[in-house]
Structure 1
Amino acid sequence: MPGLRIEGYVIVSADGMLANADRVMPEELKFEGDKRFFTAALDRADLIVHGRHSHEGQANSPQRKRVVLTRSIGTIAPDPSNPRATLWNPAGTSFEFACELAGVRSGTVAIIGGPAVFGMFMDRYDTFWLSQAPLVLLPGGEPCFPGVPRHSPQEILAAHGMSPGDAQILDAAHGVSVTPWRRAA
């Protein structure tokens, strides 16, 4: 849809995981610097997109307009539990229609997971913000993208035509940084 800028956001462990083996984001993957970066980005976004198991769980979350991917409906419907959310089944209708129904025709769309949702947009991201916690390992955890751990998150982004920009340090004590991966114009 013209006028939409699609950005992805995730923090991963050194082994490319966004959650532990129980599919829960553990405390050791949560850092104040990354939380501030993520919160500010979502506060600027016009629409948040995520799967039914993902959610940012922040103070401003109820104010954010969102599209939630689910297979529990045929196409698209208002979320009965959240007036600012639209439920969307990608098998039933297009992303553009979901955005239209959510009332977003232009602006920034923030994709926040999970892995299958990230994978759906891999060829559509304008920028993917990859935060990394190099001192954290989550063996047997949930990979951030389809194809991890066979390939690193960086290899997958590069394979989809994206190139890294300059990393920004979010937590020097723990080596946590965020790197913008951008699509070549």
Structure 2
Amino acid sequence: MRIEGYVILSADGMLADASGIMPPELKFEADQRFFESALDAADLIVHGRNSFEDQPRSPDRTRIVLTRTVPGLARDPANPRATLWNPAGASFENACRESGVTTGTAAIIGGPVVFEMFMDRFDTFWLSQAHNLTIPGGMGGFLEVPSRSPQEILASHGLKADGVRVLDAERRVDVTAWRRS
């Protein structure tokens, strides 16, 4: 299974405000289009219980939701396309088998604890950044933010920046592909 990560962060590396909510100022139409297109191409979406992509086709996507509410694996009673996974009780590979997806691309969409679990397994991490926006006192996109920058964190896990794509020049939003060499 190919593993790709996706996140948009503020210039100071934040994913959410102090209350843990992604502020509307961090949502940009061009990035949302990029994100939705990537999720449409993915075979499996993986996220924590507080993360959700909030896209029109979200209910159609097969997903694994990390949670501590089950001992290992369980079907989500609220969503027939979702598998609940407690990493303390089952491996990622077992969660994939339970979800019915064992090949293709898994899109890891967060949050910080989920990203940390896959840091040494990402084939590519797509880091979108809004360079004109800061979120003082916010929640970092990775566990080590703000003591380390997102770029330092990705590099420390063997990923290398491999091209920047401008998504919104006026608002200074871009996405960098960080790839495992």
TM range (shorter): over 0.9
Structure 2 Cα separation of the partners of residues 123 and 173 of structure 1? 34
**Counterpart residue number, 1:69:** 66
Residue from 22, 27, 35 that aligns with 1:25: 22
3-state SS in 2 of match to 1:83 = strand
Q: How far apart are the structure 1 equivalents of 2:118 and 2:107?
A: 11
Among all aligned residue pairs of Structure 1 and Structure 2, give the percentage whose two residues are the same amino acid. Answer: 64
CA distance in structure 2 between the aligned counterparts of 1:177 and 1:7, rounded to whole angstroms: 17
Query: In the alignment, which residue of structure 1 is the partner of 2:106?
Result: 109
Deviation readout 1:123-146 (Å, 9 max, x if unpaired) = 000000000001110011111111
Which residue in the other structure is 1:149 paired with?
146
Q: Provide structure 2 residue ranges, at least 5 long, that are not aligned to the other structure.
A: none
2:31 matches 1:34: yes
Q: 1:159 aligned to 156, 159, 169, which one?
A: 156
Task: For 1:114 and 1:162, locate their aligned partners in 2 and report how far apart those are by CA, in whole Å.
Answer: 19
Distance (whole Å) between structure 2 residues aligned to residue 21 and residue 136 of structure 1: 15
What is the identity, as a one-letter code, of the residue corresponding to 1:163?
K
- Structure 1: how far apart are the matches of 2:48 and 2:80? 17
TM-score calculated relative to the size of structure 1: 0.97
In the alignment, structure 1 segments of 5+ residues that lack a partner are none
Give the TM-score normalised by the residue count of structure 2.
Answer: 0.99
Q: Shift of the alpha carbon at 1:41?
A: 0.1
Q: How many residues align structurally? A: 181
Q: How far apart are the structure 2 equivalents of 1:110 and 1:148?
A: 22
